Amino acid sequence: MDEPLAKVRKRIKKSAYDPQPFIERIEALRLKRNLSLRQAGMQAGLDHQAFRRLKAGVRPEMMYCILLADFFEINPNELLVLAGWPALKVFDIATVSEEHLPPEAVDVALALAKISDAGTRRQVADAVMILLKKYFE
């Protein structure tokens, strides 16, 4: 993103927003944890009405996307892009790969990134996470 963030925010706030992909993703994440709308919002560090506004189609602020991603343990860029915001370099796996992750983790992440279908990518990622959790039990 070469354009200053303030200009990007101003431009995007004026643009059209299709909330359905974002709503579907956060609903899947919320239901996976079996949380009410209120519980999910509060536990993510948002106010108790946050999920209701998001489900009503209000574009989430960038910080909401980041807080939700942190709570649901996913890459913030996934929610930022679904909400119509640009992906941020700081959350880009390729940017931090060499310096902060073991090569094997980078290989897995890059292989997952090649899966174009988001649903399939999520299923494969979930399967990898199940294997990792079993390993650490």
| Residue at token pair 């303030």 | 6
Question: Which pTM does this prediction carry?
Answer: 0.66
Residue 6 tokens, joined: 């303030």
Q: SS in 3 state form for 69-118?
A: HHHHCCCHHHHHHHCCCCCCHHHCHHHHHHHHCCHHHHHHHHHHHCCCCH
CATH of 5-88, one of 3.40.640.10, 1.10.620.20, 1.10.260.40, 3.40.430.10: 1.10.260.40
The rounded average pLDDT for each run of 10 residues, N- to C-terminus, in the chain (137 residues) is 78 89 94 92 89 92 92 92 88 62 76 81 86 80
CA distance 89 to 95: 7
Give buried/exposed letters for 16-55 (b at 16+ CB in 10 A, else e).
eeebeebbebbeebbeeeebebeebbeebebeeebbeebe
Where exactly are the structural domains of the chain? 5-88, 93-135
- Note the pLDDT of residue 101: 67
